[in-house]
Each structure stands twice: as C-alpha cells, then as structure tokens.
Amino acid sequence: MTDIIYHLVPVDDWGAQPADRPYTPADYERDGFIHCTRGAEQLAIVANRYYRNDRREWLILIINENAVSSEIKYEPGADGVLYPHIYGVLNREAVIEVRALPRDADGTFRSLERS
C-alpha cells in the first residue's frame, strides 16, 4: 500500500486517549499539526533523531493517508525532506494498525523493515 504514513506516539499517550474519539497528540497545541513520516526507513531516522534517549515505549500509528478526514500538507523539515503534516485531528478510521516501534538495547530504534 503506497498511501501509508506513520505517526509516533508514546504508549501511555495513546492509551490515555478515548478510543471512541479522534486522536490528538500532546504536542498538537504547540505545533498546530500532527507530525507524520512516509516510509519505514524515514520513520526510524526521525525516531532516532528525536526520541532515542526517551526511554518510554513508543507505538507507530500506521495510517491510510486517503482515509484521513483532516487536511494533509507535505512540508519540508529542517533536513529538507518533505513530511506529511495532518492539520486537524486524526480520525480513528484512518489508523489501520498500531504497532510497537522496535528498538535495540542501546535505545536505537529499528526500521520496520529490519524488525
């Protein structure tokens, strides 16, 4: 499926959200959108750049981009890569799978392709 995007979320944050309501991450108020990535390799790069030293358990929301009811804009990050940003809440119907993000003993996150 080529219309897949990913969102990283701490296990406790995902569990604290009511399952019958749209998802809104903790940093939405500050950032104004939901951060996402495209591609399993890019997901691991972003996870290691921002969360490698964060020892919480992390989940990956695997999202069908075409089913997202809010607007998605592809915008460049500081690294020049275009990232999908969801401008609004994430409707639960668009989340096709929730999976643990694998990591090594030193905290390095692994690509889904290597897990």
Residue 90 is predicted with a pLDDT of 98
What is the band of 114 on the pLDDT scale with cuts at 50, 70, 90?
very low
Which structural domains are found in the chain, ordered by start?
4-94 (3.20.170.20)
Amino acid in the structure at residue 92:
R
The closest of 21, 43, 31, 39 to 87, measured between CA atoms, is: 31
Given a cut of 90, whether residue 112 has pLDDT beyond it is no
Cα distance between residue 60 and residue 99, in whole Å:
5
Given a cut of 60, whether residue 81 has pLDDT beyond it is yes
pLDDT in tens, 13-72: 999 999 999 999 989 999 999 999 998 889 999 999 999 999 999 999 999 999 999 999
